[in-house]
Every structure is written in C-alpha cells, then in structure tokens.
Chains A and B, each alone.
Chain A
C-alpha cells in the first residue's frame, strides 16, 4: 500500500516540493539565525551558481556525451548581457532581476546555437578543441570591446543576488533539466550518447537534438553568469578563461558524468573545500590537484557514477528495509 502512494506521481511532486521548502527554510535558518556568519552565508550563493553551471554542463557532457571545453564562455556572455541590461534599466528588483537573468540566459543560448551548429559536426576531442577555441575567442572579444569595460572590467553592477534568488534559480534549473531528461526528448538525448549511429538510424535528428541540448546547456550557464555578475558586482574577463571551463568540467566529472545528484554534491563540496583549506593557503591548490588525480585513478567514473537520486523510491526502499528489520525481529521473538 505504502509503495503505491510513494510511486504515485502527484504524491511525489508534493513530497519533493516539501523537501525543497524544508531545505530552503533550513538554509534561511542557518544564514539569518546567526549560526553562520556573513562570509559563510555567502558561500551558499557561490554553491548555488556553481551547481547551476555543473548541472548544465552535465547535460551536454554527461547526457549528450559531448565534451565541450568552453562553458565559461557561455557563462561570460550571460554575465555581461545581464549586467549590461540591469545597469541600463531602472525597474523594481523583482522585475528587473529576473528579466536580466532571462536576457543573460537567452544571449548565452543564442551564442550556444551559433557555436553549436558548426562545432557539433565534429566529435570527441575535436569538439573539445573547437569549443575551447570559441571560449577563448569570446574572452578576447569581450576584452577588446568598449562597452564591456575591456581589461578594466565592468564595474558598478547592482548587487541583486541574494540567497533566495540563487536558491530559486538552482531549483528551477535542476527541475527543468531533470524533467527534460525524463521526457521523450531526454531519452533521445541519452540515446545519442549511447550510440550516435543507432540513434540516427532510429529516426532521431542528431543535428536538432545536439544543437538544442547545447543551447539549453548554454542558457543555464548564462543564467549562472547573471547570478555571478550580480553577486560579485565586478566582471573581469580574465575570470572566464580556459581554467574556469576546466573547473566546471572537474565538478561534473568528479560527481559522475550523467548524474545530477553527483554534480550537485561535487559542486557544493568543491566550492567549500578550497575555503576550508584557506588556512593552508599555500598548499591548498596542490592538495586540490592531488585530490583530483587520486579520485580519478581510483574511481574513474566519478564519485556517483551514473547513479541518480530521487526522493520517492529512496524513502520507499528505506521503509521497506525498516519493515524488513521489524519483521525479522518479530519473527525471532516468535521463535
């Protein structure tokens, strides 16, 4: 009986919504209840946009099976577009900020289509190289444009990214990408990862799905860029170099290619670890890189592999396990 309730879709939506609200209340309690200081609270914002970056890259990397190395380029397009918009208009925050984020996302998405159409004709390492090239070109172009502030960076962006906004965006990103992957289109995307030739033979349009997935991935990277811009209030092109793309890729691969929960956990951990290691500031990057090599050597599929977590079945199996324990105990007593 319990099984049927937990497998029921409506009930599961309710359960997930409840869990998200509880998590939000917990974060708000921790940050404004005086338990965490301002510095520690701000880390939730960093965790938030890093999760969005990692999950969106996982879509094109882990689920579509391509290897793009230019994610920071999309992030920078989104960051600059949304920052320039919010600096130009003067509206109430609850209209201006979502609109700015949306514009950032759309700008990045369009860039994704422009880059994706030629780049996705190539595969494997060549795709990696060509996206890397595009990422660097985006950075150099931003560096040389007048209205982006060039090498001095873009200053005077209003600080809009609060914990609530970032939390909302993170939840929406994960929800959209998760439901997309569970849909018919998601199965088409995954089938491309498994075998391109077989997918094409089954009537799946490779160009269409690759480009659209790439654009969605870029869109969310742009949104994350918008959050980043309105959190730091200064944009510097040198922060969006090749190393930033690699940093995001590391989050995805460490968590597990094709595991959303993996990306969420590893983005959170990899945001917090460098801060925890701050007291060993000199050694921290050395430790970080050694950690990366060791995890890869001993668990090449990433910490979570392709495992994905969902609340309903997890509670279900937990219940069953508890019931099994009680029944076994009861059986032992009867004897």
Chain B
C-alpha cells in the first residue's frame, strides 16, 4: 500500500469520525454534556439498517432513510426522558445518566439480537479508477456524502432560523429564552440532528467494515469524541478537522508503526494537544470569572 492509499483510508474513516464528532460537539455546545450514549446511537442505527435490509428485504435507500428517522427520534426521546429532568442539577449526574443510557442501549440490543457479530452486506460495491489509482466505491461514497453533509450542516447553523437559535442557546440559555427562543425545542432539534448524522455515519461505517456487534459503538464513539475535543469542542469546523486528523493519524500508525498501538497514539495526540492548548485546536478559550 502506498502512502497515498493510507491517507485515503485515513480520510475515509476520518470523515466517519467527523460525522459522529459533529453530534458530540453540537450536544456539548448546547447542554454541556458529554453524551456517552451517542456511540450507541450509531450501533442502533447499524442494527436498524441491517435488520430492515437483510431480514425485511427493504431496498438500501429505504433502510438508510428509516435508520435516520429512527435514530433522530431515539435521540430526542432519550433527551426528553433521561436528560431533561436533570438539566439543572450537577453535571456529573447528567454524565452518569448518559453512561446509564449507553449501557441500557448496548444491553437491550444484545438481548434482542444476541452478542454474536452480524455480517453486513456491502451497499456500495465496485470501485472507481481515477488517474491510475483505484478507489473502492465505499470510500468514494463515504467521503463525498460526509463532505456534503458537513457543508449542509454549517450552512444550516449559519443561515437558518433554527441554526441561529442553536447558536443563541449554546451561548446563553437564559438570555436566549428571554429573546423568545423555545429552548426545549432547540435542544430537542439538536439531539435529533446529531442522532440523524450518527445514523448516516453508521451506514457508512458498516459499508466499509461489513461487521456489526452490540459493543461496536463504544470505541467508535470514544474516538469521535476525542476528535471533537481535539478540534475544540463546541466548534463545528473543529470537529471536522479533528475527525480527519484522528482518522489519518490512525491509518498511518496502522500502516507504518503498529496496529496495536494505534489507539494509544490517538489518545497520545489528544493529550499533547490538550496540554499545549487546552481548548482544542480551533476552540475558544474560556475565561474564568470569580
């Protein structure tokens, strides 16, 4: 494998990390919660797609659409049931609840579909020849879809009314409410949007790795979260940048150093960045008030 191939691989996995990291960063920006259940949403999305396609025989586009809607609703329901009652309490209780939700989803899926890994069929078969290089179709689709979604998301946040509301709520919840913004709706929408992106990330992940299991969400979620922190949590362009950095670093480590040490190197990069610039690469430093 040439170095260019490794980088393409890195961009492919990196764009999946970036999509998931967007969900983390939006939720963190708005409710200051590390949503540990986000990784599990990817897992649920994967199982939904697998079930509708291989058991119910649905066409791929319907399965993907179904997964997006299902995950978005699931994300909103989780927020309403588990996080909303705790919004005004200590953040650590919220964090523990998020961990509880993530445990619950993992074990519920394990109960229904058993712990054995399931094989996922390749949705995007074939390959693409371009200038003497061969790219797998799933890599091309993953990168193109992710880039379109990222551009769409940043347009949504910058130019629409709901995007403005999201920015206002993440800046100051109380003031936003005084300005006539429905804070509950905005938070709900953010969870739905993040979870929908996670569902698309799930489909893209499955089409490149062909295998799903109930615990697949935790490590994927953790790395995406690392990506979000690396880029500067709360910042959308930071999440994208962080995703690509983590993806490429991981792919190059696997290719040239050792695949066993890839996770350690990913976390090592995070630690170095946090020590040098605690707010992340593109994050704004927070001032401390007495």
Contacts and interface: CB of A to CB of B under 8 A. Distances in A.
- The answer to whether A and B assemble together is yes
Interface of A: 67, 118, 121-122, 124-126, 128-130, 132-134, 136-137, 140-141, 143-144, 197, 242-243, 246, 249-250, 253-254, 257, 282-283, 285-286, 288-290, 292-293, 296-297, 300-301
B263 A242 contact: no
B107 A289 contact: yes
A286 B111 contact: yes
18 contacts: A67-B95, A126-B274, A133-B226, A133-B267, A141-B264, A246-B99, A282-B111, A285-B110, A286-B111, A289-B104, A290-B104, A292-B96, A292-B103, A296-B86, A296-B93, A296-B97, A300-B90, A301-B89
Most buried by A among B100, B111, B225, B258: B100
B290 interface: yes
A286 B92 contact: no
Given A144-B261, A293-B82, A253 B93 contact: yes
B100 A289 contact: yes
B270 interface: yes
Given A250-B96, A285-B107, A296-B93, 17 more contacts: A118-B271, A125-B34, A126-B229, A128-B34, A129-B229, A133-B267, A141-B264, A144-B261, A197-B290, A242-B218, A254-B96, A288-B103, A290-B104, A293-B82, A296-B97, A296-B100, A297-B97
A128 B110 CA distance: 28
Interface string B54-90: 0000000000000000000000000000100110011
Interface residues of B, number: 43
Nearest to A250: B96
A108 B97 CA distance: 29
A285 B82 CA distance: 18
A285 B229 contact: no
B288 interface: yes
Interface string B225-268: 11001000100000000000000000000000010110110011
- Per CB-CB distance, the 5 closest pairs between chain A and chain B, nearest first, are A289-B103, A292-B100, A133-B267, A300-B93, A289-B104
Contacts of B111: 282-283, 286
Contacts of B271: 118, 130, 133-134, 137
A300 B103 CA distance: 18
Contacts of B92: 67, 253, 257
Given A137-B268, A293-B104, A253 B96 contact: yes
Given A140-B263, A141-B264, A250-B99, A121 B85 contact: no
Contact of B97 (A141, A285, A293): A293
A296 B6 CA distance: 45
Given A133-B271, A253-B93, A126 B278 contact: yes
B235 to A, nearest CB: 15
Contact of A286 (B97, B107, B263, B275): B107
Contacts of A118: 271, 275
Contacts of A301: 89-90, 93
Contact of B274 (A129, A242, A249, A289): A129
Contacts of B103: 285, 288-289, 292
B31 interface: no
Contacts of B110: 285
B115 to A, nearest CB: 11
Contact of A140 (B101, B222, B264, B275): B264
Contacts of B275: 118, 121, 130
Nearest to A196: B288
B108 interface: yes
Contacts of A144: 258, 260-261
A296 B263 contact: no
Contacts of B85: 297
B60 to A, nearest CB: 31
Contacts of B107: 285-286, 289
